[in-house]
A and B are shown apart, each in its own frame.
Chain A
Amino acid sequence: GAGVSQSPSNKVTEKGKDVELRCDPISGHTALYWYRQSLGQGLEFLIYFQGNSAPDKSGLPSDRFSAERTGGSVSTLTIQRTQQEDSAVYLCASTTGTSSLAGNEQFFGPGTRLTVL
């Protein structure tokens, strides 16, 4: 079946513009995560969605960042008034279970490479 897809694959924008990044998780996966990966760095957790529960936004770096997940499926990460330090690869992942005891693997999309000029 189809994996996690993200669009666009690349986005170049000017400082101060808003951008929207899209993630289509694997069908049936109830949990969805957004991560950010800067050059040469590990993945930084941004936000987590699980079903109809309130999302965990603890990783969002500033109030310019927001995300929503409509209908428990597609998610959009929005960055307002982009800054050069926002340049990174934004990765989306989905998984089936909710229990940390299961240690369910996360399935990642290919990422969106954002460049802010």
Chain B
Amino acid sequence: SQKIEQNSEALNIQEGKTATLTCNYTNYSPAYLQWYRQDPGRGPVFLLLIRENEKEKRKERLKVTFDTTLKQSLFHITASQPADSATYLCAYISGGYNKLIFGAGTRLAVHP
């Protein structure tokens, strides 16, 4: 079955460092991946989308890479801030419409 996996352990980093989160998928070749941020008690908020023909996508301090050979996407936050602390979810589309398959998410904690 199609699977998408993210590091289940929380990532703790120091403010100002770069946070790198990993998303791996199996048994599927998605045309693109989406990344979402989720804060406690709230629904996910869309951050970035990267297509299979794009190696890298940037938005302000965020960068996403997509390696179709490794079946992996990396999500980077540079110059991290405590306000970046949240759970980050990756997802891909399955089927002929926008049904998203989500990973379990990785919780990021940025310490001052």
- A interface residues with partner B (beta carbon < 8 Å): 4, 31, 33, 35, 40-45, 48, 50, 56, 91, 93, 95, 97-101, 103-111
Say yes or no: is B77 at the interface (Cβ < 8 Å to chain A). Answer: no
Q: What is the CA–CA distance of A111 and B38 in the complex, to the nearest angstrom?
A: 12
- Chain A proximity of B93: nearest CB distance (Å): 5
CB pair B31 A33 closer than 8 Å: no
Q: Assess whether B98 is interfacial by the CB under 8 Å rule.
A: yes
Tell me which of A48, A101, A110 contacts B42 (CB under 8 A).
A110
Residues of A close to B112: CB separation below 8 A: none
Interface residues on B, range: 20 to 34
Determine how close the nearest CB of chain B comes to the CB of A69; give it in whole angstroms. Answer: 15
Complex Cα distance, B51 from A101, in Å, reads 9
User: 17 interchain pairs (CB within 8 A)?
Assistant: A33-B100, A35-B102, A42-B103, A43-B89, A43-B91, A43-B100, A45-B99, A45-B100, A45-B101, A48-B97, A48-B99, A103-B93, A103-B98, A106-B46, A111-B41, A111-B42, A111-B43
Selected contact of B98 from candidates A40, A43, A100, CB within 8 Å: A100
Q: Determine if B43 and A108 form an interchain contact, defined as CB atoms under 8 angstroms apart.
A: yes
In the complex the two chains form, is A4's CB within 8 Å of B95's CB? no
Partner of B43, one of A42, A93, A101: A93
Chain A residues near B45: list those with CB within 8 A: 108
